Structure 1
Amino acid sequence: MLTLMELCAELQISRSTFYDWRAKGRAPRCLKLPNGDLRIRRSDLDRWLSRLEEAA
């Protein structure tokens, strides 16, 4: 699973951009850990990227 920092680095976006996408329902699926941190499964990220490519 990816941390938020790893996801932002891979997509070359800022944390604020990610949170904006998430608020608008446009971000990949996230898991919220008991301590409040977010994690993104690689499979969810890959699926999300594939949907974006199909829509382009």
Structure 2
Amino acid sequence: MSASNAKLTLAEVCAELRISRSTFYEWRAKQRAPRCITLPNGSLRIRRHDLESWLESREDAA
């Protein structure tokens, strides 16, 4: 599996962004979080590519 195709756990994403799980869920409720995959057991996964695209879309055009 390529690095851009990797699927990150919610804990990995929160650690990378330095946010709490509750902040991520708040963003998700407001539809401001990166796209997520919901597994049958309810766990979330975020594709590395989706996280990178989401971060790029939030860059300031300074």
Normalized against structure 2, the TM-score is what? 0.86
What amino acid does structure 1 have at the position aligned with 2:13?
L
Aligned counterpart in structure 2 of residue 32 of structure 1, from 25, 29, 38: 38
| Cα shift readout 1:25-54 (whole Å, capped 9, x = no counterpart) | 000000000010000000000000000015
What amino acid does structure 2 have at the position aligned with 1:6?
E
Match of 1:39, SS?
A: strand
Q: Give the percent of matched residue pairs that are identical in Structure 1 and Structure 2.
A: 71
Aligned to 2:55: 49
Aligned to 2:18: 12
Normalized against structure 1, the TM-score is what? 0.94
Unaligned 5+ residue runs, structure 1?
A: none
Match of 1:2, SS?
A: strand
User: Rg bigger for which structure?
Assistant: 2
Q: Larger helix proportion, structure 1 or 2? A: 1
